[in-house]
Copies of this chain bind each other. A is one copy, B any other.
Amino acid sequence: MPREILLNAFDMNCVGHIQHGLWRHPRDQTTRYLDLSYWMELARTLEAGLFDGLFLADVLGVYDVYGGDADAAIRGAVQVPVNDPMLLVPAMAACTTHLGFGVTANLLYEAPYPFARRMSTLDHLTRGRVGWNIVTGYLDSAARAAGFARQPAHDDRYDLADEYMQLVYRLWQHSWSDDAVLADRSSGVYADPAQVKAVHHHGKQYQVDAIHLSEPSPQRTPLLYQAGSSPRGRRFAATHAECVFLNGQAEAGVRLIVDDIRGQAQAMGRSPDDIRIFLGATIITGASAAEAQEKFQDYRQYVSSEAALVHAAASLGVDLARFDLDEPVDASASQAITSNVEALTRSQGPGWTKRKLLQQMMLGSRQVPMVGSGEQIADALIRWTEKAGVDGFNLSRTVAPECWSDVSRFVVPELQARGAFKTRYRQGSLREKLFGQTRLPASHPAMRAGEA
């Protein structure tokens, strides 16, 4: 009997997210991203389809590596313009009951004290359905927007993130006790001050002397997502993350990372089952394999090669505009993002060209789509969970919103028939649905953050 597979929709408060150019498709509705109604319809569609969550990406800079400026990104709507993701959640929560919301926020640019309150507020308003995708960013353009010449070095960002986590854990977990709020109209005592402690944090980067401003929310600490695949990133994930988001094309390679993260978590005293791992995936499906292939060919006509290269250039830190189609790309530029360049060179071989890269970017990104009938896709997903040890998938949008309803119509029933997908939502908070309890387990470092 296969495990139950988890499914998130992976989206962003902008026009072009992962698969670039598809907003031009006549049925695509993502140019409605400025309307609340668009997002509320999306949330209802996902909940009707029993999706576990909506995972919202974010970025606080622009992709300005390609051609040395942001022009091509702006032209092709490559994650710009991009609006704040958090502000979508309250309206979507108001029209759903079970759907979870994972929100990306870059801790480098969020002062911890008001940020902790924002997440607590969201956890209250959603009744415990919120998660935080912890990112430290990778764009110098974001650093320049925040007044720095460049961002801190890769590993330094994670050190800073470790301190940030300690601080927000103390605010979320250790400032208000569960018994603090009495809301007693007869005595006039709303909360018992003896049950509310100030947090005194004096670290290398942050100084806080204050009580948390929010009373305890259902989950206290939001469900923690993270997406780091570098060695330092994996260590951070193994330490803090409850859900890890990975990308990868080969089962064996993904399996190595999955085992490494679970192993490191276990070495730190956590249970390997305390971590759910989601693989990034793109699905194109239909009533039959032929219909899915037809849809794929239809969608492909709308792909923008330039937009795809803009995103790839930023991910690699290599200005791909400087190379001809068939010229081997020299990726040794000083700003190159080593781990991403190495991964690409492993898959493409040395001396790869833009033409080879574009052939791989069939739908406008390097994520190879799964194309097939619901049966075929269900088999492929189950195979991934068995071979690579992942628990679920973060599904990229293609032509929205039909890409979401297609998964619900064609793939979910096949998964259910195989016992690999829930037939209704579990009760309770997002963490309770995923892990059986609303609060973090005792083995999580957040629970010990109050001792410092």
Q: Which A positions have Cβ atoms within 8 angstroms of B?
A: 13, 15-16, 21, 23-26, 31, 34-37, 40, 60-62, 69-72, 74-77, 80-84, 86-91, 93-95, 109-111, 113-114, 117-118, 120-122, 124-125, 141, 144-148, 176, 181, 183, 185-186, 188-193, 196, 206-211, 213-215, 304, 307
Task: Contact check, A88 vs B90: say whether CB atoms are below 8 A apart.
Answer: yes
- A377–B37 Cα distance when bound, in Å, is 39
Q: How far is the CB of A422 from chain B (nearest CB, A)?
A: 25
Q: Which residues of B contact A69 (CB under 8 A)?
A: 193
Asked if A304 contacts B94 (CB within 8 A), the reply is no
Bound together, the chains give a CA A195 to CA B104 distance in angstroms of 29
Q: Which chain B positions have C-beta within 8 A of A62?
A: 210-211, 213
Instruction: Name the B residues within 8 Å of A71 (CB-CB).
Output: 193
Do residues B191 and A74 form an inter-chain contact, with CB atoms below 8 A?
yes
Known: A60-B114, A75-B192, A190-B74. A87 touches B214 (CB 8 A): no
Instruction: Please give, as numbers and ranges, the residues of chain B lying within 8 Å of A193 by CB-CB distance.
Output: 69-72, 74-75
> Which 9 pairs show the lowest CB-CB distances between chains A and B?
A77-B190, A147-B207, A145-B210, A71-B193, A83-B121, A84-B121, A90-B91, A81-B215, A74-B193
Question: How many copies are assembled?
Answer: 2
User: Given contacts A61-B210, A80-B213, A193-B71, is CB(A145)–CB(B113) below 8 Å?
Assistant: yes
Closest Cβ of chain B to A119, distance in Å, is: 9
Which B residues lie within 8 Å of A74 (CB)? 190-193, 196, 211
Q: Cβ of B125 and Cβ of A87 under 8 Å apart?
A: yes
Which residues of B sit under 8 angstroms from A70, Cβ to Cβ?
Answer: 193, 196, 211
- Give A207 to B233 CA distance when docked, in angstroms: 29
Asked whether B111 lies within 8 Å of A109 as measured between CB atoms, the reply is yes
Residues in B with CB closer than 8 Å to A114 are 60, 84, 109-110
Select from chain B the residue with minimum beta-carbon distance to A176: B81
**Cβ of A40 and Cβ of B94 under 8 Å apart?**
yes
Q: Using CB atoms, name the residue of chain B closest to A213.
A: B82
Q: Which residues of B contact A181 (CB under 8 A)?
A: 81
Measured between beta carbons, the chain B residues less than 8 angstroms from A191 are 74-75, 77, 81
Q: Quote the shortest CB–CB distance from A355 to chain B (angstroms).
A: 20
Q: Complex Cα distance A144/B200, Å?
A: 10
- B213-A117 in contact (CB<8A): no
Partner of A145, one of B15, B121, B208: B208
When distances are taken between beta carbons in the complex, the residues of chain B under 8 Å from A148 are 207
Which chain B residues border A121 with CB–CB below 8 Å? 13, 83-84, 87
By a CB distance below 8 angstroms, the chain B residues around A190 are 15-16, 23, 74-77
Residues on the B chain within 8 Å of A214, using CB: 81-83
Q: A35-B125, A81-B176, A113-B146 are in contact. List 16 more A-B contacts (CB 8 A).
A: A13-B121, A72-B193, A75-B191, A81-B213, A83-B120, A83-B213, A83-B214, A84-B118, A88-B90, A89-B90, A91-B91, A141-B210, A144-B210, A145-B208, A146-B208, A147-B207
